[in-house]
Structures are given as C-alpha cells and as structure tokens.
Structure 1
Amino acid sequence: MDLIIRNARLRDLEELRDIAIEGDKISEIAERIQVTGTKEIDAQGKLVTPAFIDPHIHLDKTMIVDVVRPNVSGTLREAIEIIWEKKARYTIEDIVTRAGQTICLAATNGTTRMRTHVDVDTIGKLMPLQGVVEARRLYQDIMDLQIVAFPQEGIVQDPGTEELMWRAMEQGADIVGGMPANEKSPDDSKKHVDIVFSIAKAFNADIDMHVDETDDPFYRTLEMVADKTMEMGWEGRVTAGHTCALAAYDDHYAQYVIDKVKAAGIHMITNPATNLMLQGRLDKQPKRRGITRVKELLEAGVNVSFGQDCVKDTFYPFGQADMLEVALITAHAAHMSLPGEIETVFDMMTYNAAKVLRLDDYGLEPGKRADLVVLDCTSAKDAIRLRPDRLYVIKEGRVIATNKTQRQLNRV
C-alpha cells in the first residue's frame, strides 16, 4: 500500500480502524490491516473524515479589502459598487495571486474541492474567469476547482453580458451562474432565468445561481428557478445560493416554495457569515438574521450545504477559508445545537456539499478517492467547537498539508 492511516476514529464506529490507500483511492478499511504501507500515519484515535468541500466562494474577489476604499455603509449595494472600481483594473497576475492565497489557506484547513463563482460582465469582461482558470491550473495539485460563470451585474440590464456568458462557457467555466433578482423587473428576471437555462442546455451544464439575496419578501425568483428547472428537466442539476428572501416570506408562501424546491431537486446553499453581516443591516430591532430557512429545507428533504462565500473582500472583511469556522457560524445562525443537528452541520460541508458538486468519487469507503483529513479531536461536535489542527490533509492519496500547533502553559 502507498499509505496506511492506523488507528483512525470514524464518525459512525466505536472501534478504531486502519485505512489503506493505493494510488489515489481508498482500497481497504479494517480493524487491522496486516500489510505495511510505503508511508504510514498513526492517527492515535483522532477523527478521520472525508476532506471538506466549499461549494460557494468567490476567488476572483478574495483578499481585496485592504486595497480598495472601505464599504462605509456596510451594505451589499455599496460592496458591489466598490468591486466595479477594482474590477476595471484587474490583471490576471493580481487575480492569480489573491486566489492562490485563499486556495492555499483552504487546503491547509482541510478543503480539497471548491466551487468558485467568477464575475462575468461588461466591466471586467472575461478577465476574472481567465485569472481563476490560471489559478486552477497552477494549484491543481492541492485543489479541485469547479468554475461558475456569474453575471452579478445582471444579464438583461447589462447588455453584452449574455454574449460574454456564452464565451465564458467556451473558455473554461464549468457551470452557468445567474443572479435573476438583480434585474429591473420580474419580467426581466424571468428572461434572465430563461437565458441561463438556454446556455446550460447548449453546454449540457449544471446551473448555480445567486437567488434572492435580499431582505425584501417581494423578490420571488426562487419560485421562477424551481419552475424552470422542472420545465427543462434539469432536476438535481440546479443550485440556489443565499435565498435570503425565503426567510422573509410568510410561512404559507415559504412552504409552498420549499415544496417546489424539493420537487425540482434543487440544492440549496446558505452563506451565513456574509449574510449575517449584510442582511438586516438597516433594520431597527428586532433585526432579521439574514440567512435562509435552513431547518425547514432540511426537514423537507432538500439537500442543504453552506459556503465560505467571501474572504477579506468588500462584502465580508473576515474569513480564512476554514469550513469548520463556517460550520460553527452556521450552527449558531440556524439554531442547530442538538446532537443530531450538529452531525447534520458536519454533513453539510462534506456529504451534502459533494451532492451539490455531483461527485461520485467522494466518501470514506473502498473505491472512493482518497481525499481525507485527520483532525486533532475525536468527534464532529469537537471539530466544530474547537476548530482543531488539521493534522494531515490528504488529496488523491498524497499528504498535501500537515498542521500541529504547539501550546505551552507556564504556571508559577
């Protein structure tokens, strides 16, 4: 065997296990594997899980907060406007440098796969895409990237963007993005959705849209997306991110839409770090929490995951590409503190995220790709609570990162 992890604690088992890896695949999991490995790791009873997945991040915008003017209102609208100024001056080298910093952070923190949105519009044109495509090439040894062509400025209201979206799919984007609420009318939002699906059909591509990222309950594009998904037969191939307005709907309409989301097989992604910061910002007390109806969606059987979304940009000045940090924020924001709920939060950045990315090689069983993380703890709850060292991060059977914090307490 190329690599054997000894004495690993798995989430669903009492007894420790050995995990054998041959090439880039898990070949065997047993109480004791008799053969020796070219390399061996003694997990010493620590938790071993599949590596983390970040299904929603913006690598073209990451790490810019210190080189642009401040967002003095703290609002989503001003954050977008500041991005206009930076985007007009993007270079491929600049994007690669910033994206690379975040990719390296994420890999060190146990993430080996990401889905990143990149802006496609008449301001930056295809420069954000070209920069992230180059970053994907340069960092492919430590991170797998799916790239979403994301028309943040709208499609109908930004003439020329539709043509750029087609070109983006030809030049390296994998998934068709959208932001239908960012149009001037519901009719234009519907046209936006129709365009996104027509591009996806032409390229036989999945879809991942930012949907109703607003406190306003009168934004209703999630229902549009669900209806179009079923009309086009794209069930299971569409993801809706943010969906903050779903939390602002009255309960009757919210359940009506959730039922449609379930019927359409839409994957849902909440981004609580950014949305807790941006949504409800202008409310008087009591302030809205700003994140979608996570529990109701899960109870309806909808696949729900969460993403980092932003790292040190105009939308969110914090973040360190650490999915355990986002898990902790999600648990607080969605009131998920019961034992089973905590396990679900851990699933949201592992198995649920793998469903979003539609991965068939993900998991902790023989035959699956050997993307694993050894955590300096013994349970999912402590992983989220402590955000401990990722002792070993393994991608395709190779150790790509090791972490061990030295702590010393001196008492007199």
Structure 2
Amino acid sequence: MKRLHIRNARLRGREAQADILVEQGRITQIADQLTQPCDQVLDAEGGLVVPAFLDPHIHLDKVNVSDVTGPNRSGTLKEAIALLWEKKRSYTVEDIVARGEDVVRRAVANGTLGMRSHVDVDTIGGLTPLEGVLELRERYRSAIDLQIVAFPQEGIQKDPGCAELMRQAMERGADVVGGMPANEASPADSLAHVKYCFDLAEQFNAEIDMHIDETDDPFYRTLEMVADEAMARNFAPGRVTAGHTCALAAYDDHYASYVIDKVKEAGIQVITNPATNLMLQGREDRQPIRRGITRVKQLLEAGVNVSFGQDCIKDTFYPYGSADMLQVANLLAHAAQMSLPGEIERVLDMITTGANQILKLPGYGVEPGCRADLVILSVSSAAEAIRLAPPRRWVIRNGEVIAWNKVEQALFL
C-alpha cells in the first residue's frame, strides 16, 4: 500500500498548517513539516482536511423511485407511503441495486464514506429490499461502510407477519433493529411495537434506530415510550437512536423539557432529517408555518448527541437531494438557526465525529493511528465548507485516493 503525504493541510483546532503522513492505510504522523519520501504527495494548499463525512440516516431501497411511481400530489407523508405500496410489490434486487448505486457513487464522490440505511421490512415487499441493499453493500464494500437497519415502516402490530420478517432480516445480515411505533393503531400497539424491537435487539445483541413521531401532531408521544423502555432494560447509553422526533417540536415547552431529560438519562441519540421534514411537516399550516424539524438546539444544550441525515433522495417523500452532506448541513444550519461561530463548528461535527458516535466506525478521525478515510476541501474553514459546499478536491479511503473533483471557472467581465 502506498505511503501518502498530504502537504499544507488545514486541520480543525490547529492554527498552523500541517503535513499528514499516511502509511498502510493509517495516519502515522501529523507535523508542521514532513520530509519523508512518499509514493504520492497531495498539496492541500491550505484546504481543510476532515474525516470522511457520514450519513447516519438514508433509505437506499427507495432512492430514485419517483422515476416510476409518479409524484406525491398532496406532498404528505401518508400519500408518500401509499405510493410506494404498488412499487414495493414489484421490487427486484437488480432494480434496488441500480437505483441505490447511483446514490452511493454520488455520496462517495462527495466525501461520504459511511452510511446507515433503513430498509423496509414488511409483508408487501418481503425481504427483497433487504436483499437489494445487502448486494449494494457487498458491491461497494471497498469504498463505503454501509450499515443496514431493518425498518418496519408499515408497523408490526398492523402488519401481521412483519415480526417474523424482522427476525429473518436480522439473521440475513441487517445490523440494526429499526422501528416506527407511531405508525400503529393505538398507544398500546405502539408500546407493543417498542417492546418487540427491544426484544429483538437483545436477541441479536444489536443496536436500535427507530423512526420516532415523524409528525407535527403533539399527541404522538412514542419518544417517551422508547426512553422509558431503554431505562427499564438498562440498555447501554448510545445504543438507541431516535430519528426525526418531529412531534417534539410541537410539544409545549414543559412536556418537551421533561421528555428531553428522559432522552438524556436514557442515553438516546437523535438524528434529525431537515430536508424531508421541512418538506413534509406543517404542510397544512397557515402562517406561522412550523419548521418541521426537532428541537436541535435544546437537545444539544441538554447534552444529547444530535446528528442529521439526507434521509430521502428523489423518492415519494422528497423530490430533491444529491447525496451531498455539506448541502444538507447548510439546510440544517438554516432550519435550526445555527449561525454563531461555535454553532457552525457544531454543524460540521454533526456529520463527522457526532455521526460516528452513532455509527461507531473504528479508527475514525484525523489523528495518528486513525484510518485514513479523509476529505480534502478547497476551503479553509467549517463556515466556508457549509456556506459553499465546495468541490471535494480529493476523497481518500484507507490511504488511497478514490475520487477527485475539479471545477474550472472563467469570468469574462
């Protein structure tokens, strides 16, 4: 494996530019100036070098599906789910791989080398979505770390047979137990859903990552259920993730604070998905229109780890998306009003070190001993990275350049 020398790098938290030496796929030295002979030298020219971006919440089985389902005419979550039913019945592994690899390749070119994908498990599509994303994971194993969540979007109590399919999905290679307890017929069924997911996670020694209260209705309260169950079972902190948690933003402040305290005590991590939820939530509001995303700042202030994901790309839920986590970072910064210097730095943390608290990829970071999964940007600060979403000059995986981007511009003024 090549010895790689990255010159004139700007590193977060370090005033002077630095050189980075990579050997056998790992960072071995960081110093003001290095002179060892190397197989390859990259001059960052003062550009920011960060660990590879991570997307902790996406649905690779659904990406690009709007090409065949047609548009979501109401723009609602309910219609988005219904539109998928017919397509799911006719899914093939080949179709899922073809749609998904378009997104994986875009993600890698944009510096995202770790993903967690939720995959539908239900009696409509069976395990075909899982088989497709398992094939995608194997095909791109050398380029990206892909974790798979078994996701019962249609409910478990509402979808007889789903519980057994969830168990089979874990046996066939899913990494994480998913859930969507709000999509049940009653609070009692939601609680049964939560308990089943914890039972399954304990059986497979797996983590849990559920879609929680993806609604602007304040009467959906499964986040508290999940926190209570995690504490009752002494589930280790950091092994339960709650995605979306949109209803948390609709709660009155007193109840929201009460639930956030429980989330912190239970060690639950939160993923917000600003693109999709800004689009789906609050659609029937008159002014003022709710933002649709969770209480990001309040969660952070309480000491809860918060990250964010792309979630959807060109599917029935969301017609946009380009698998660029810096684009999503810009959106999150606006939606959560994170504009102060420390908040800007925190936004970049949320798709690097913060996201890795959820994915737990070994050897992640920009320190000696870390795996050399790096992105070299053409800007020198977190603020400029989020503002401009600049080309990723080089994307490095295990010390090897796997993508480079160059944009030429000419102004005739």
Q: Same fold (TM over 0.5)?
A: yes
Q: Which residue of 2 aligns with 1:149?
A: 150
Paired position in structure 2 for 1:11: 12
Letter in 2 for 1:394: I
Q: How does 1:23-38 map to 2 (within 5 A)?
A: 23-38=24-39
Q: Residues 139-288 of structure 1: matches in 2 within 5 Å?
A: 139-234=140-235, 235-288=237-290
2:344 equivalent to 1:342: yes
- CA-CA distance at 1:113 after TM superposition: 0.4
- 1:371 equivalent in structure 2: 373
C-alpha distance in 2, partners of 1:334/1:257?
19
Q: Does 1:300 align with 2:307?
A: no
Amino acid at match of 2:218: P
The aligned length equals 411
**C-alpha offsets along residues 3-39 of structure 1, whole Å, 9 cap, x if unaligned?**
1101100111111111111112111111111212111
How far, CA to CA, are the matches of 1:33 and 1:259 in structure 2? 48
Give the 3-state SS of the residue equivalent to 2:411 in structure 1: coil
For residues 157 and 61 of structure 2, the distance between their equivalents in structure 1, rounded to whole angstroms, comes to 23
Match of 1:393 among 392, 395, 399: 395
Per-residue deviation at 1:358? Answer: 2.0
In structure 2, the residue matched to 1:53 is: 54
Cα distance per residue 1:146-187 (max 9 Å; x no partner): 000000000011000000000000001000000000000000
Corresponding residue number in structure 2 for 1:119 = 120
CA distance in 2, matches of 1:8, 1:233: 44
Partner Cα separation in structure 1 for residue 121 and residue 325 of structure 2: 26
In 2, distance between residues paired with 1:76 and 1:297? 25
In 2: Cα distance, 1:17 partner to 1:220 partner: 49
User: In 1, Cα distance between the equivalents of 2:377 and 2:147?
Assistant: 26
Q: Which runs of 5+ in 2 are unaligned?
A: none
Partner SS for 1:230: helix
Where in structure 1 do 4 or more consecutive aligned residues deviate above 3 Å? none
**Structure-2 residue corresponding to 1:92:** 93
Residue in 2 aligned with 1:311? 313
**Amino acid of the structure 2 residue aligned with 1:137:** E
Which blocks of at least 5 consecutive residues in structure 1 are unaligned? none
Shift of 1:236: 1.4
2:172 aligned partner, one-letter code = Q
Deviations 1:351-377 (A, max 9, x none): 100001123411110111111000010
- SS state at 1:37 partner: coil
Q: Distance in 1 between matches of 2:6 and 2:411?
A: 31
**Identity across matched positions, percent:** 65
| Superimposed CA distance per residue, residues 294-339 of structure 1 (whole angstroms, 9 cap, x where no aligned partner) | 0000000000000000010010000000000000000000010111
Alpha-carbon distance between aligned partners in 1 of 2:57 and 2:10, rounded to the nearest angstrom? 29
Q: CA–CA distance in 2 between the matches of 1:24 and 1:124? A: 40
SS in 2 for 1:26: strand
How much has 1:217 moved relative to structure 2?
Answer: 0.3
Give, in angstroms, the shift of residue 403 of structure 1. 0.2
Distance 1:198 1:25 in 2: 38
* One-letter amino acid of the structure 2 residue matched with residue 230 of structure 1: M
